[in-house]
Each structure stands twice: as structure tokens, then as C-alpha cells.
Amino acid sequence: MVKKGDKKKNRKSGLVREEPETPLEWDPSETEIVEPAPVCEPDVEECIQPETSPYEGQAVTVLIGAGEKAYTISRSLVDQVPTLQPLIQDLSCQLNPDEWGGVCNNKSSILRLADVDEKVAHTLLHYLYTGQFEILQQVLPVWTSKRAAEYTRCVLAYRAAVTYKLGGLEEHAKRYIETFDEHTSIFEVIPLAREIFPHISEHSWFSRYLSLKIMNSFLVDEGIFTNEAYLSDFGKNSEFDRFLFKTMQEAYEMKVARLQRQLAERNPPINSTDGVVESPRCEEPIPEPTEQGKEEQVEHPLSARMRNAMAWRGRRSRIPDPEFERGFEEYTGPVDIDY
């Protein structure tokens, strides 16, 4: 007699059948994997897609100029500039350690750039964010030239770029300095350069640029070196004074060289062989004068031309010269010579 429990076991075992393993007809490792075809995208102007966001991470307070005007920038941007990153000062937590479970949530960092002029603070930070050059609008007095003011800020931006080795900002500033150059007088540039670049010999590009501007101004007006605006600040900075004196010397040397070149073009050198008429050759020797002829010879105080002509007198061939003939006849008479 079969028990009920055994029937259930037999029923369950009948549901699970063990099938024998049959070998696969193909090897999966030998199957070629077909890559999906790339999606055809239309040619459109894509959005700018930077790899990282400059707006994430801890903020840094940047204090610009002597007045320490405050700006804010992402720490990630400052860390990308090797000359700025070491200047960051991390402030200690100002909270009571017992608050917020001893966790400081207001830790901040400060970056002081006292040698950057406040006029170009926005220019510097905008470049760090975007890599572009931009200056803020400013309200100017009615007697101030807008182009001259823009030129000044470009020079200030150039100095900041050179100081902190920001190559891209330096190139932007150079381009705009040259753009506004023609709108700025040399008497506006020299005081600005004296103030911003007291050690101008350390700034090769700007020193060459200023030398060329001074010499070009000298070509237009040679009296600039005696102008009071040019001489007013001499004695305040010996290094800058030497630079100006050297530029003055080069300007005058350039003028002398130009005058010499113009003189040479107007009066070209004459070849010594040009225009020379060879004297006719005498096939027969000149007969020696007789003793009687020697006594009659009297040296006349004539010009060299007349004496040479007289020496040729009696030769078979000579150059006819009517003027000579007339001059010779004037001296055919006796001449009294006082020895």
C-alpha cells in the first residue's frame, strides 16, 4: 500500500526531468560581433561643452588693488594658474567647535593681488573664467579721451598678465594696446609707462614698443625732445631716464642716416673714368729747344691749363680749343717777372 506522502514525492519527482546535455552546433567565441552603425548627425553648430564646470567647488575671495576690492571666483579656476595657486590663504574656521557637531561649514579662502589695478579687476577675472578680454564701461570726465582711457586699462591689464604669467591675457592686451595706440599721444604714454614700468628693461616687448612709438613721434615732430611734457619727470627714475636717453640717441642716429642716404641719392658718386678724354698720343718726339730757344723761354704766370696747352704747341696733333687760342694770344707779349 502506497502512502499519501510517497505519492506526493513521486508526483513532484515526475515534474523535474533530467535531460541529457547535447553539444551546441556553433561556438559562441567564433561568432562575429556586428558593431552598430554610427548615427548620422546633421552638421549644426554645437553648444560649447567644457570638460569641467568653473562654477563648482569652493569659492575664493579675491582682493584686488590697494583698496582690496572683493571679488569671488571658483577655487578650481585659481588652482589652474601656477602663479596664483600658491598665493591662496585658507582661513581658519570662525565657528565655535561645539556648533554643527564640530564641523566647520564656513571655511573660506582669500587671494590678495595688491599689485593689480582695480580698473582691470574685472578684466582679469573675466579672463580666468572665459579666456576672453573684456573691460567694464566707466564714467569719464568730459575732457578725458575715451580711447586714451581704454589704452590705459589695456596697459594695466598687460602688466597684470606679465606679472602672473598669463600668456593669453598678455596677447589680448598687446593687440588692444596697438589698436588704441594711434589715438594716444606720446606725452600721455610716457608718464603712464614711467609709473607702470619703473624697471622697463625687464619688459622687452613694451620697451621695444615704446621706443618705436617715440621714434615715430620724432619723425612727425622733431621738437618733442625739447617739449616740457617730455622732460618734466626726468630725475624721478634713473633706469627709465636711461631708457629715454638711449631712445633719443637712436632717434637722432636714424635721422642722420636718413639724411646721408638722401644726400647720396641726390649726388651719386662719379666714376673717375667717366667723361675723361685721353690726351692724343704723339707719334714723334717733341724736339728739344735750341740754346737760343732756351734763352728766349720765359715762364709766364699762367694757369695750369694754359701752361699745359703751351707745352702742346707745335705738336702734330692736338685738341682744338678756341678758348685756349684766344687766351694764348693775350700772353704773346713780353712779361716782366720779379724774382
- pTM exceeds 0.85: no
Bridge partners of residue 72, in order along the sequence: 61
Distance CA 172, CA 316 (A): 86
Instruction: Give yes or no for a contact between 91 and 109, defined as CB atoms under 8 angstroms apart.
Output: yes
Tell me: the pLDDT tens digits for 43-64? 777 787 877 787 777 889 999 9
CB atoms within 10 A of CB 88: 17
Task: Find the mean pLDDT for residues 262-285.
Answer: 63
pLDDT for the residue 100:
44
Tell me: the pLDDT tens digits for 162-187? 999 999 999 999 999 999 998 888 99
- One-letter amino acid for residue 149 of the chain: A
Q: How confident is the model at residue 201 (pLDDT cuts 50, 70, 90)?
A: confident
Query: Residue 230: which residues within 8 A CB-CB, separation 6 or more?
Result: 186, 187, 190, 224
Task: Find the mean pLDDT for residues 73-89.
Answer: 90
Task: Find the mean pLDDT for residues 132-161.
Answer: 88
pLDDT for the residue 126:
94
Nearest by Cα to 162 from 200, 131, 134 = 200
Q: Is the model's pLDDT at 8 over the cut of 60?
A: no
Bridge partners of residue 60, in order along the sequence: 73, 109
pLDDT for the residue 212:
92
Distance CA 215, CA 109 (A): 48
Distances (CA, A) of 27 to 22, 23, 149: 13, 10, 79
Q: How confident is the model at residue 270 (pLDDT cuts 50, 70, 90)?
A: low
Q: Are strands 59-64 and 109-113 parallel, antiparallel or unpaired?
A: parallel
Distance CA 91, CA 314 (A): 116
Distance CA 161, CA 222 (A): 34
